[in-house]
């Protein structure tokens, strides 16, 4: 993609760009503290084989009113943008020439919190979606697995880093944030997305 000066980290079938320290450590510290304190963190339950289990992380969903999103079988209504989430959106839109209308925030309280293997391929995201993912707090490993070739690679995501997923990545690759025993502190991840509002 011509707007990036970065190199594609993916060997094939999609595009993945990493900008280390998109926010400086000082800026990232300020954002991290604000997000911990001010976002409306929710513990979601997931129905699995007829039983409810707690999702192993806290989440919060913000964005434009019409950007509601079906995720894990539940309709998520976004809360109105907070000042900080809007500032970040403006920075990303300027860099990527995007028009993000929502953000999913994940809080991994410690190394026991995680996200299972998935692709962000919901119909509302459209074909070849652009997703901008920011990391704050503890370093955690994000693992990509190719669906056909089983090719696998890992990226360490650090405080202030920006990761951009685009092109056919979501068609061919899945990603996960595995549990870890060696990371004890909290991490916040924000994924900015453009939800195409499907009329139902």
Ligand X SMILES: O=C(O)CCC(=O)C(=O)O
Of ligand X, Mn ion, none, which one does residue 39 interact with (CB within 5 to 8 Å by kind)? none
Q: Could you tell me how many residues make up the chain? A: 200
**30 versus 153: smaller Cβ distance to Mn ion:** 153
> Which residue is associated with the tokens 């405080």?
159
**29 versus 176: smaller Cβ distance to ligand X:** 176
Q: 92 near 85, Cβ under 8 Å?
A: no
With 0-12 / 13-18 / 19 or more C-beta atoms within 10 angstroms meaning exposed / middle / buried, residue 25 is: exposed
**82 versus 189: smaller Cβ distance to ligand X:** 189
Cβ at position 126, least distance to ligand X in Å? 16
Q: E strands along the chain, which residues? A: 15-19, 45-48, 51-54, 58-63, 69-71, 74-76, 102-108, 115-118, 131-137, 140-146, 152-157, 162-166, 173-177, 187-193
Cβ at position 83, least distance to Mn ion in Å? 25
**50 versus 187: smaller Cβ distance to ligand X:** 187
Cβ at position 2, least distance to ligand X in Å? 25
Q: 149: which residues sit within 8 A by CB, 6+ positions away?
A: none
Does 120 contact Mn ion by CB under 5 A?
yes
Cβ at position 46, least distance to Mn ion in Å? 15
Of Mn ion, ligand X, none, which one does residue 104 interact with (CB within 5 to 8 Å by kind)? ligand X
Cβ at position 132, least distance to Mn ion in Å? 12
Of Mn ion, ligand X, none, which one does residue 60 interact with (CB within 5 to 8 Å by kind)? none
Cβ at position 113, least distance to ligand X in Å? 10
Distance CA 63, CA 86 (A): 9
Q: 130 near 166, Cβ under 8 Å?
A: yes
Q: 68 near 77, Cβ under 8 Å?
A: yes
Distance CA 156, CA 41 (A): 24
Residues in contact with ligand X by the rule CB under 6 A = 104, 106, 115, 120, 133, 142, 157, 175, 177, 189, 191
**120 versus 122: smaller Cβ distance to Mn ion:** 120
The interface with Mn ion within residues 40-99 (CB under 5 A) comprises none
By the criterion CB under 5 A, which residues form the site for Mn ion?
120
């Amino acid at each position: 993609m011509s707007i990036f000066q970065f190199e594609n980290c993916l060997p094939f079938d999609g595009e993945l760009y990493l900008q280390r320290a998109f926010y400086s450590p000082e800026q990232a510290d300020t954002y991290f503290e604000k997000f911990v304190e001010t976002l409306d963190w929710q513990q979601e339950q997931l129905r699995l084989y007829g039983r409810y289990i707690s999702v192993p992380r806290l989440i919060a969903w913000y964005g434009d009113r019409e950007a509601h999103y079906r995720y894990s079988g539940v309709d998520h209504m976004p809360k109105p943008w907070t000042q900080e989430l809007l500032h970040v959106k403006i920075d990303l839109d300027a860099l990527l020439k995007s028009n993000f209308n929502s953000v999913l925030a994940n809080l991994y309280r410690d190394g026991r919190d995680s996200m299972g293997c998935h692709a962000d391929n919901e119909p509302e995201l459209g074909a070849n979606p652009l997703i901008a993912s920011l990391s704050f707090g503890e370093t955690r490993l994000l693992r990509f697995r190719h669906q056909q070739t089983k090719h696998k690679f890992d990226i360490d995501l650090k405080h202030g880093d920006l990761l951009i997923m685009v092109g056919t990545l979501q068609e061919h690759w899945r990603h996960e944030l595995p549990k870890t025993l060696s990371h004890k502190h909290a991490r916040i991840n924000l994924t900015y997305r453009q939800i195409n509002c499907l009329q139902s």
